[in-house]
Every structure is written in structure tokens, then in C-alpha cells.
Structure 1
Amino acid sequence: MKAIQKQGTGRAAYAELPIPQCGPKDLLLKPLYSGICATDLHVLYHDLGQGDKPFPVVMGHEFSAVVAEVGSEVDGYIEGGTKIEAGHRVTVEPILPCGKCEYCHRGKVNLCPNMSHLGIYENGCYADFVSVPANRVHRLPDNLPDLAGALVEPLACAINFVDKARIQPGNSVVILGGGSIAQLTLQVALASGAGTVIVTDPVAKKRELALKIGAHAAIDPMREDVVSRVRELTGGGADIVIECVGVAATVSQMVQLVHRGGRCVMAGIPTGKIPMDLLDLVFGEIELVGVMATVWQFPRAMRMIELGRVDVRVALDKVVPFSQAIEGLKEAFESSEVGKVVIQHGA
């Protein structure tokens, strides 16, 4: 089969590999669409999670797929009920928890210290086939398109961000960043009853998209004083700030944007250490909450798409054939103008 491997820092290449074995508790899947995520770019260009992992590794973790083969001991799938069969369309939770530690036993599988992860530590979905544990798979509803199925994972992340933010009806919310995950977070925040929602991003088309989706204001951090503008719009500071970028400028800015007693959610993944002045955090009793991927949000994400509460396609910039996927990765990394890029397998 053909696959896209990370073969070194910043170096991805097509490779011919054997079709993976389908273990007794696994499913062999044939991907339909795969998303290019900022995490994939961090893996490729910044060696995220690759400290002790030898190259090469097949990349990718956001995807929809068709079941090609069912392991001999598989009798269901993650949410129980219907038996999974060859031909069913599915999406996959890419975190692979150990299932044995205290975090797994408490249902916090995204915090498992022994976890693996598709596309980072294990071969992922940028391939003709991928083998995954059956208990990490969700069957896609019949009315949910293949393309939308590839975007369930980032929407589930956005739901987790908003869960951690604990938004209450009427809360003012600032979302730092205007990329695809921020645009999904914006929609979930609005669906959760947020009042004034403000998005910041230096790219004009991302600000315009945020306003089109329903943001009440979109600030250009290169031209405006974000802190004073947010305080003006919220009457002194936001109730909640969700950081979706992971860069020094936005991380260090978070605590200046909330009022005393406010809450900051750190959702972006930094690529290095970031200095931060914590005096405002202490004196203002500001909550700073980290958030890691998803935990049990996939069914809710699929339901929100089905009900039309979230349109996962709004931040979609382009769909590229698998034969152009490496160019898609490069473009997504090099251009701040590019929105969500999705790979179409078999094209």
C-alpha cells in the first residue's frame, strides 16, 4: 500500500508498505478523507512527541474510513450496541490509552501516561489502510457525509475546550486564533450560550470568517491593542479566554484579557517553553486550565453536526488528492492564509 511517512524533521515522503495486520481486537480501515491538523505539522516540523520514537512513522490522525476487515474477537464498538461489520463507515479516536492505569479506570483516557497516539507514536491514517483497536472506533451516522466524518475529531477537541471553559449563558468569551480549530470552538461556544464572543487573528480572511459565523467582534492584533479593545467590548475583561494558537504572544496575553476571577483555557500546543508573568493570575484569582485532545466527546460532536448546530465545513480551505498531500502539508505549514486542508484518499 502507499503511505506518507515522516522520515525526519520536516521530511515527509511517500512509501510502499505492507498492508497492516488486523489483530483479533482490531479493525482494518480504508481511509476516505484525512484532515491536516496543526498537530500533524508540529509532529513533522517540530518533532512533537518524537523524543524516543524512531523514524519513520506514518502520519495522520483525523479521518473517516470504511471497515475493510474485522478482528476475530471484535463484537462491538466503542459506544456499544450495534455490531461493527465490514463496509461500515467510521471515525476514530486517535488516542490509544493503556486501559489499565488509574486515569483510564476513572474514564480520563486522554490523560493516560502510557498512551500511544495514531500518527505520532503509531502508524496513522495517511495511508491506503490503517489498523486500529476496535474500541476506539465510532460508526458514522448514515446522514453524516464522509468529508464531515474526517472533521469529527477536531470538533470533539473544540467541545472539550468549551467543556473546560465551563461557559454559562451570557458569558463573554475571547478566542485567541482564527484557524480551523478556533472557528469550530467559536461555533461550539455560541451553541453553548456564550454572549459576546471575540476572535483575534492577524489574517483578514480568518477574521471575516469568524464574523460570518457569528463572532461579535474580530480583532487584528497587528493593528489594534487587543487588551484595551477587549476590555472596551466586555466592560473590563472577558469571563473566559480560550487560547488556540500556542505561541508566546497569545499565551502571555491570556491573563490580561480576563477580569478578576475569570478563566483561561490553554488549548494551543506550544512548540517550546513560553515565559509568562503570573502576577495577574495570582492577584486576580484567575483560573488557568490546560486541555488535552478529547475524552468521550465524539458522540456529541457527531450529533452537533447532524443537528446543524455546527458546520464543520466553514473553515475548509481545500480538498487535495492523496497524490498531492505532501504539498498540502507544506502549504499548510508555510502559509498563515491557508485554512483547513483535507486529503481525499483514492484521488
Structure 2
Amino acid sequence: MKAIQKQGKGLAAYIETQTPDYGPKDLLLKPLFSGICATDLHVLYHDLGQEKKKFPLIMGHEFSAVVEKVGSEADFYIGTQQKISVGDRVTVEPILPCGKCDYCLKGKVNLCPFMSHLGIFEDGCYADYVRVPAHRVHRLPDNLSDLAGALVEPLACAINFVDKSRIQPGNSVVILGGGSIGQFTLQVALASGAGMVIISDPVAKKRELALKTGAHAVIDPVHEEITEKVRTLTGGGADIVIECVGISATVSQMVHLVRRGGRCVMAGIPSSKIPMDLLDLVFGEIELVGVMATAWQFPRAMRMIELGLVNVQAALERVIPFSQAIEGLKGAFESNEIGKLVIEHGK
């Protein structure tokens, strides 16, 4: 089969390799569409995950797929009592928890210290076929397209970000970062009752997209004084700030944008250590919480798309053929201007 393999830091290549073996409790899936996200760029260019899995590694973790083979003992699936069969369309939770530790038994599978993860710690979906444990698969509703199915995972992450913010109806929310995950977080915050949502991003077209999808205000952090503007718009500071970038500038901004007693959610993945001034955090009794991927948000994500509460394709820059995927990864890493790229397999 064809696959995109990380062979070294910043080095990806198309390869021909064996179709993966699958066990009795696994499914063999044929990916249809796969998303390119910031985590994939961290894997390729910053060696994310290398402490557990040395390259070579087949990348990718956001995807829709069709079931090609079903293991003889595959009899448990999330969110359905029906047996999943060959030919069914599915999406996949890429975190692969151990299922036995204290965190897993309490339902906090995204905190499992023994987890694996498709495209980070084991071979992922940038390939003609991928092996997945059956219990991590969701059947796609009939009215969800294959393309939308590939965007369920990042939308589920955005739902988890908003869950961790403990948003209340009427709250003011600042989202730092207008990339696809920031755009999804914007839509989820609005659907959750936010009274005002503000997006900060230096890229004009991302600010314009945010306004089209419902943001009440946008900020250019390069040419505007962000702290002053947020305090003016919110009457002293936002109730909630959600950081979706993971760089020093935005992490440092968080505690200056939130009101006293407010809540900051750290969702971006830093590629290096970031210094932070904690004085305002202490004197303002500001809550700072980290958030890791998803835990049981996939069904809600699919339902939000079905109900029209979120338009996942609004953030889509373009669909690219599999043959251009490595160029897409490179372009997304080198340019902050590029929006969400999705790979179409078989092309």
C-alpha cells in the first residue's frame, strides 16, 4: 500500500509498504479523507511523540474511512448497539487508551499515561489502510459526508476546550488563534450560549472568516493593543480566554485579557518551554486549566454538525489529492495564511 512516512525531523516521504495486520478485536479501515492539523506539523517538524515512537512513522490521525475488514472478535463499538460491518463509513478516536488504569476506569481516557495515539505513537491514517481497535470507531450518520467525517475529531477537541472553560450563558469569550481549531471553538462557544466571542489573529482572512461565522469582534494583535481592546469590549476583561496557538506571545497574553476570577484554557500545544508571569494569576484568582484532545465528545460533535450548529467546512482552505499531501504539510508549516487542508485519498 501507499503511505506517507516520517523518516526524520522535517522529512516525510511516500513509501510502498505492507498492508497492516489486524487482530481479532480490530478493524482494517480504508481512509477516505484525512485532515492536516497543527499536531501533525508538531510530529513532523518538532518530533512530537518521539519519546515513545521513533521514526519511521506513518502520520495522520483525523480521518473518515470505510470498513474493509472486521476482526473475528470485534463486537464492541462506541455509540451503537449495531454490529459494524464491511462497507460502513466511520470516524475514529485516535487516542488508544489502555483501558485498565485508574484514569481509563474513571472515563478519563485522554489522560491515560499508557495510551497510544494514531499518527503520533503508532502508524496513522496517511495511508491506503490503517488498523484500528474496533472500540475506538464511530459509525458516521447517513447525512454526514465523508469530508465532514474527517473533521469530527478537531471539532470534538473544540467541544472539549469549551467544556473545560465551563462557559455560562452570556459569558464573554476571547479565543487566541483563528486557525481551524480556533474557528471550531468559536462556533462551539456560540452554540453554548456565549454572549460575546472575540477572536485574535494576525491574519486578515482568518479574522474575516471569524466574523462570517459569528464572532462579535476580531482583533489584529500586531497592529492593535489587544489588552486595551478586550477590556473595552468586555467591560474590564473576558470571563473566559481560550488559547489555541501554543506560542509564547499568546500564552503570555492570556492572564492580561481575562477578568479577575475568570478562567483561562490552555489548548495550544507548545513546541518548546514558555515562560509565564504568574503575578496576575495569583492576585486575580484566575483559573488556568490545560486541556488534552477529547474524551467522549465525538457523538456530540457529529450531532452538532447534523443539527447545523457548526459548519465544519467553513474553515476549509481546500481539499488536496493524496499525491500533494507532503507539499500540503510543508506549506501549512511555512505559512500562517493557509487554512484547513484536507487530503482526499485515492487521488
Instruction: State TM-score, norm by structure 2.
Output: 0.99
Q: Which amino acid aligns with 1:104?
A: C
Query: Residue 314 of structure 2: SS of its match in structure 1?
Result: coil
Query: Residue 141 of structure 2: SS of its match in structure 1?
Result: coil
**Residue 282 of structure 2: aligned partner:** 282
**Residue 195 of structure 1: aligned partner:** 195
Superposition deviation, residue 283 in structure 1: 0.5
Query: Residue 277 of structure 1: SS of its match in structure 2?
Result: coil
Query: Residue 39 of structure 2: SS of its match in structure 1?
Result: helix
Query: Residue 131 of structure 1: SS of its match in structure 2?
Result: strand
**Is 2:16 the partner of 1:16?**
yes
Q: State how 1:33-52 maps to structure 2 within 5 Å.
A: 33-52=33-52
Retained in 2: the 8 A contact 1:68–1:87? yes
Question: Which whole-Å CA distance do the structure 1 matches of 2:178 and 2:186 have between them?
Answer: 9
**Residue 150 of structure 1: aligned partner:** 150
- % same residue: 80
**Residue 330 of structure 2: aligned partner:** 330
Question: Which whole-Å CA distance do the structure 2 matches of 1:76 and 1:306 have between them?
Answer: 24
**Residue 88 of structure 2: aligned partner:** 88
Question: Which whole-Å CA distance do the structure 2 matches of 1:143 and 1:23 have between them?
Answer: 31
Question: Which whole-Å CA distance do the structure 2 matches of 1:273 and 1:22 have between them?
Answer: 38
Superposition deviation, residue 52 in structure 1: 4.1
Query: Residue 313 of structure 2: SS of its match in structure 1?
Result: coil
User: RMSD across aligned C-alpha pairs, in angstroms?
Assistant: 0.6
Question: Which whole-Å CA distance do the structure 2 matches of 1:135 and 1:214 have between them?
Answer: 36
Retained in 1: the 8 A contact 2:63–2:92? yes
Q: Which amino acid aligns with 2:255?
A: V
Question: Which whole-Å CA distance do the structure 1 matches of 2:148 and 2:79 have between them?
Answer: 19
**Residue 140 of structure 1: aligned partner:** 140
**Residue 60 of structure 2: aligned partner:** 60
5+ residue gaps, structure 2:
none
Q: Which moved more, 1:49-58 or 1:108-117?
A: 49-58
Retained in 2: the 8 A contact 1:76–1:82? no
Retained in 1: the 8 A contact 2:162–2:189? yes
Describe the shift of the 1:52–1:138 C-alpha distance in structure 2 as closer, same or farther (beyond 3 A): closer
**Residue 271 of structure 2: aligned partner:** 271
**Residue 257 of structure 1: aligned partner:** 257
Question: Which whole-Å CA distance do the structure 2 matches of 1:214 and 1:274 have between them?
Answer: 31
5+ residue gaps, structure 1:
none
**Residue 117 of structure 2: aligned partner:** 117
Query: Residue 185 of structure 1: SS of its match in structure 2?
Result: helix
**Residue 106 of structure 2: aligned partner:** 106
Q: Which amino acid aligns with 2:186?
A: L
Query: Residue 120 of structure 2: SS of its match in structure 1?
Result: coil
Superposition deviation, residue 34 in structure 1: 0.1
Question: Which whole-Å CA distance do the structure 2 matches of 1:106 and 1:125 have between them?
Answer: 28
**Residue 241 of structure 1: aligned partner:** 241
Q: Deviations over 1:225-271 (max 9, x none)?
A: 10000000000000000000000000011000011000000000000
Q: Which amino acid aligns with 2:200?
A: T
**Ranges of 4+ aligned residues in structure 1 off by more than 3 Å:** none
**Residue 78 of structure 2: aligned partner:** 78
Question: Which whole-Å CA distance do the structure 2 matches of 1:117 and 1:54 have between them?
Answer: 13
Question: Which whole-Å CA distance do the structure 1 matches of 2:7 and 2:39 have between them?
Answer: 16
Q: Deviations over 1:129-186 (max 9, x none)?
A: 0000000000000110000000000000000000000110100000000000000000
Question: Which whole-Å CA distance do the structure 2 matches of 1:257 and 1:70 have between them?
Answer: 50
Q: Deviations over 1:84-136 (max 9, x none)?
A: 00000000000000001000000000000000000011100000000000000
**Is 2:343 the partner of 1:343?**
yes
**Residue 163 of structure 2: aligned partner:** 163
Equivalences, count:
347
